[in-house]
């Protein structure tokens, strides 16, 4: 992990009402694992003072990209950055998805959960991605995903695009006999139903979790969660956890 100071914003694309793709130029390529994240703060603004965590979405030509939805003050501030403005960014942070997947592997992403899993598409052998959202206009990353040669199954809750239904029910319907590993990220409800859908089956689920973070580097314990193996810090021990380890 290192701090990259004064990284200029070189790309900013609005993908939806409150969703942006932000690209920052780095002096050299960053080595990171899919699922690792960064802590960001606009360089010259100190309110809020704390950096905000964002998954590393992808990297291309020494530009590091983040897919970000505006939620409150910190993300609003990042979204108001103009091309040429700079940010101080700590990265790469945390433990990403396991690098040792050898059998069948599916990626499940619900809504903004696409951000930490996107870079898996180029790192595992021919992964199948199930990418869902409530409605077509919220499939923010679909065009970017289509640029990869991955097999993508799209789903929407209202049936406006792709399979009708949420990501987990589409998975259960299309892959009733699946054995292997699932790498997933999505809202809490999606993770709960994924846990139920895979319970008692020969399936490992690795999930990228979210938590409120202050330091992002394991120092403040602000992001601690209870697991079957004791307290764990989402920022340092995660954010990717084997779902079987989590206390429901």
Asked if 222 touches ligand FES (CB under 6 A), the answer is yes
Contacts of 196 (CB under 8 A, 6+ apart): none
Question: Do the beta carbons of residue 50 and residue 123 sit within 8 Å?
Answer: no
Range in contact with ligand FES (rule: CB under 6 A) among 14-22, 54-62, 80-88, 218-226: 218-226
Q: Taking CB within 5 to 8 Å according to partner kind, which of ligand FES, ligand FAD, none is near residue 216?
A: ligand FES
Q: Which is nearer to ligand FES, 15 or 213 (CB)?
A: 213
Asked if 214 touches ligand FES (CB under 6 A), the answer is yes
Asked if 233 touches ligand FES (CB under 6 A), the answer is yes
* Entry field: residues in the chain: 248
Range in contact with ligand FAD (rule: CB under 6 A) among 60-68, 118-126, 145-153, 164-172: 60-68
Considering only residues 70 through 129, tell me which ones interact with ligand FAD, judged by CB under 6 A: 71-75, 112, 115
Least Cβ distance, residue 212 to ligand FES (angstroms): 8
Asked if 240 touches ligand FAD (CB under 6 A), the answer is no
Asked if 225 touches ligand FES (CB under 6 A), the answer is no
Dihedral, CA of residue 122, residue 127, residue 132 and residue 138, to nearest 10? 20
77-115: b (≥16 Cβ within 10 Å) or e: bbbebeeebbbbbbbbbbbbbeeebeeebbbbbbbbbbb
Least Cβ distance, residue 219 to ligand FES (angstroms): 5
Q: What is the DSSP string of 86-114?
A: EEEEEEEESB-S-S---S-EEEEEEGGGH
Question: Do the beta carbons of residue 16 and residue 8 sit within 8 Å?
Answer: no
80 SS3 class: coil
Range in contact with ligand FAD (rule: CB under 6 A) among 10-18, 147-155, 160-168, 204-212: 204-212
Least Cβ distance, residue 217 to ligand FAD (angstroms): 12
Asked if 230 touches ligand FAD (CB under 6 A), the answer is no
Asked if 213 touches ligand FAD (CB under 6 A), the answer is yes
Range in contact with ligand FES (rule: CB under 6 A) among 16-24, 79-87, 130-138, 215-223: 215-223
220-244: b (≥16 Cβ within 10 Å) or e: eeebbbebeeeebbbbbbbbbbebe
Tokens of 129: 């991605």
For ligand FES, the binding residues (CB under 6 A) are 213-216, 218-223, 233, 235
């Amino acid at each position: 992990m290192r701090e990259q100071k004064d990284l200029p914003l070189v790309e900013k694309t609005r993908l939806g009402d409150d969703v942006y793709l932000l690209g920052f130029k780095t002096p050299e390529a960053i080595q990171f694992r899919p699922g690792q994240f960064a802590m960001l703060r606009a360089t010259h603004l100190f309110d809020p003072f704390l950096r905000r965590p964002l998954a590393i979405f992808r990297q291309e030509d020494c530009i590091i990209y983040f897919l970000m939805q505006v939620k409150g003050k910190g993300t609003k501030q990042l979204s108001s950055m103009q091309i040429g403005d700079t940010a101080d960014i700590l990265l790469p942070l945390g433990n990403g998805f396991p690098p040792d997947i050898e059998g069948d592997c599916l990626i499940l992403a619900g809504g903004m959960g696409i951000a930490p899993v996107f870079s898996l598409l180029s790192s595992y052998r021919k992964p199948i991605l199930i990418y869902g959202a409530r409605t077509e206009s919220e499939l923010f990353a679909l065009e970017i995903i289509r640029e990869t040669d991955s097999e993508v199954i799209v789903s929407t809750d209202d049936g406006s695009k792709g399979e009708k239904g949420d990501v987990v029910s589409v998975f259960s319907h299309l892959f009733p006999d699946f054995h292997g590993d699932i790498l997933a990220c999505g809202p809490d409800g999606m993770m709960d139903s994924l846990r139920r859908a895979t319970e008692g089956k020969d399936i490992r689920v690795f999930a990228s979790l979210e938590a409120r973070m202050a330091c992002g580097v394991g120092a403040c314990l602000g992001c601690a969660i209870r697991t079957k193996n004791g307290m764990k810090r989402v920022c340092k021990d995660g954010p990717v956890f084997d779902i079987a380890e989590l206390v429901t």
